[in-house]
Chains A and B, each alone.
Chain A
Amino acid sequence: MANLYEIRDLNYRYNIKQDYVVKRLNLDIKEGQIFGLLGPSGAGKSTTQKVLIKLLPGYEGSVLFKGKPLKTLTQTFYEDIGVGFEMPVHFNKLTADENLKYFSSLYKKKINYRSLLVRVGLGEAIHQPVGQYSKGMKMRLNFVKALLNDPQVLFLDEPTNGLDPSNARIIKDIILEEKKKGKTILITTHLMGDVEELCDEVAFIAHGELLETATPKSLKLKYGRREIKVEYSDQQQLKSVVLPLDGLSNHGLFQQILKDNRIITMHSQETSLDKIFIEITGKKHG
């Protein structure tokens, strides 16, 4: 896959008196993948995203978009970009329909947003002023707004934040469908469940620095412990033991448990991305 973004030695600070909030960032984002930008609050994720969507032009270093310097691209760059900000931004006294009609009118390419609104459960609220929406409804409308121009590149900042599991599921399904269409999706989040389910590649950022880039699976292999937790019943008592996964079949204790006791549960001890997140971001700055 070709690189969509090539970021080299990116530095950014909001003003000359402040410290850099993004420091020496080097990153490649490939076309057609879902890329997760992860890190604790204030890590520099949103600033990086703002640089990538040309909202913050005064950066140092080089950012190439499809091989061309980002700074040289005109406003037509946005015809193929969709952005879902972390805080939903809508005209609260306008209805959802009026909001979407207004933003849609700014693009050459448009989608039939009504069917998408129905899919995310806002079909019946289309003529309701957005100010009357709940936080979750505003988030879903924010997501629909990001897709208005059928963008080739989608930036989503915490797309499932504040959503109930069923609505979060719908949003994640749509994200995966967009990926299947060949679109590149950049997700900024700290919800590791979403990352595990959606992302092809992730980058951990803390204090503006890139700490690690990898696929979720390789991170799990790298940081995971190959262990198994066995819960078993021993003389009416529930006991548990953690055993190494390698050579398990020849492990003496395991063989003894199998022979003498009733196994209640048995789970491999995969390290969750939550733990990896804490380990990576805490290792350097903890």
Chain B
Amino acid sequence: MVKFWSLLKGEILRLWRYKITLFGLLVSAIWLVIIALVSEAEANSLLPQILMLDSGLMAIILLAAAYYYEKQEGTMKAVLVAPTSPVILLMAKVAGALLGSIVSLFLIWLTMFITHGTMFPILPALGFIVLVTLSHLSLGYVLIYLSRDFMDLLIKYTFVVLILFIPIILVNLEVIPVSWRWLALFSPTFAGQQALSHLWVPLRTESLIITILFLIGYPSILFPLYVLPEFRKEAISA
């Protein structure tokens, strides 16, 4: 556990020095300005999408930027010859990325309170943000390992984002019948947005449980079966 905190501390410092945290905060600042400028009702309707974009899709970009800096410097190899396991190292990296989403959530929560005097339930929001970020980070790692370089990743990312948004569009246009809507949950972006919407418009309990299970599914399958073996392989070859 001591190793995890040491690695996380190092990761936080690294993300700050490489200006990845700063970039994340600048993006958050855009959301804060939007929230402050619109009415309370508009802010409440926008928040699930904003939180989804920030903790899901932005997290992938920030993770990729941090990864390519590290790959360039080959530093992961140096950590692997220290008495710490690749699992702990990966956990620290994921926790570092997660922290960015959590900070952003608190800033948004605080802005809602300061500018509109309303608060959304922070603890359930925190839980959903963790799930949304983890599911998107697991996809982010898959994209990283399937890409040659950062540019290649950006191209693939654009394509994947399009695919992730198709279910949201189809559901909003009511193209998918209600009885088949669960299929849209295969998109973690749709599942994330649905879970976050629950903070304002409660879902039926069984719908909420299924949504959460889909969100848990991605990281539970991808991290141990694909990300971790690739993480080790890539770290050594860097």
Interface residues of A, Cβ cutoff 8 Å to B: 50, 53-56, 75-79, 81, 83, 85, 87, 89-94, 98, 102-103, 105-108, 145
Give B77's nearest chain A residue, CB to CB.
Answer: A89
Most chain B CB neighbours (cut-off 10 Å) among A56, A94, A103, A106: A106
Give B83's nearest chain A residue, CB to CB.
Answer: A78
Chain A residues, CB < 8 A from B78? 83, 85, 89, 103, 145
Tier of interface size on chain B = 20 to 34
Stretch binding the partner chain, chosen from B3-11, B202-210, B211-219:
B3-11
5 new A-B contacts, CB < 8 A, other than A90-B73, A102-B10, are A55-B77, A55-B236, A75-B83, A91-B14, A106-B82
Chain A CB within 8 A of B119 CB? no
Q: Is the CB of B18 within 8 A of A93?
A: yes
Using A87-B74, A89-B75 as known contacts, say yes or no to A53 and B6 having CB atoms under 8 A apart: no
Q: How far is the CB of B75 from chain A (nearest CB, A)?
A: 5
Main secondary structure of the interface of B (DSSP, over half): helix
Using A76-B83, A98-B13, A103-B82 as known contacts, say yes or no to A92 and B73 having CB atoms under 8 A apart: yes
Q: Is the CB of B74 within 8 A of A55?
A: no
For the complex, give the distance between the alpha carbons of A111 and B78 in Å.
Answer: 18
Q: Is the CB of B3 within 8 A of A90?
A: no
Give 15 A-B contacts (CB < 8 Å), ordered by A residue: A50-B236, A55-B77, A55-B80, A55-B81, A75-B85, A77-B83, A79-B83, A81-B81, A89-B73, A91-B17, A91-B75, A94-B17, A103-B82, A106-B79, A107-B82
Q: Is the CB of B14 within 8 A of A94?
A: yes
Q: How far is the CB of B161 from chain A (nearest CB, A)?
A: 29
Chain B residues, CB < 8 A from A145? 78
Most chain B CB neighbours (cut-off 10 Å) among A54, A56, A91, A92: A91
Chain A CB within 8 A of B115 CB? no
For the complex, give the distance between the alpha carbons of A282 and B117 in Å.
Answer: 80
Chain A CB within 8 A of B118 CB? no
Chain A CB within 8 A of B84 CB? yes
Chain A residues, CB < 8 A from B13? 94, 98, 102
User: Could you say which of A55, A77, A79, A106 contacts B7, with CB atoms under 8 Å apart?
Assistant: A106
Give A14's nearest chain B residue, CB to CB.
Answer: B237
Q: Is the CB of A53 within 8 A of B73?
A: no
Give A56's nearest chain B residue, CB to CB.
Answer: B236
Give A92's nearest chain B residue, CB to CB.
Answer: B73
Chain B residues, CB < 8 A from A56? 236
Chain B residues, CB < 8 A from A105? 6, 9-10
For the complex, give the distance between the alpha carbons of A94 and B6 in Å.
Answer: 15
Q: For chain B residues 182-227, which have a beta carbon within 8 Å of chain A? A: none
Chain A residues, CB < 8 A from B3? 106
For the complex, give the distance between the alpha carbons of A83 and B236 in Å.
Answer: 13
User: Could you say which of B17, B75, B77, B84 contacts A106, with CB atoms under 8 Å apart?
Assistant: B84
Q: How far is the CB of B56 from chain A (nearest CB, A)?
A: 27
Chain B residues, CB < 8 A from A94? 13-14, 17
Q: For chain B residues 57-105, which have a beta carbon within 8 Å of chain A? A: 73-75, 77-85
For the complex, give the distance between the alpha carbons of A209 and B139 in Å.
Answer: 42
For the complex, give the distance between the alpha carbons of A85 and B73 in Å.
Answer: 12
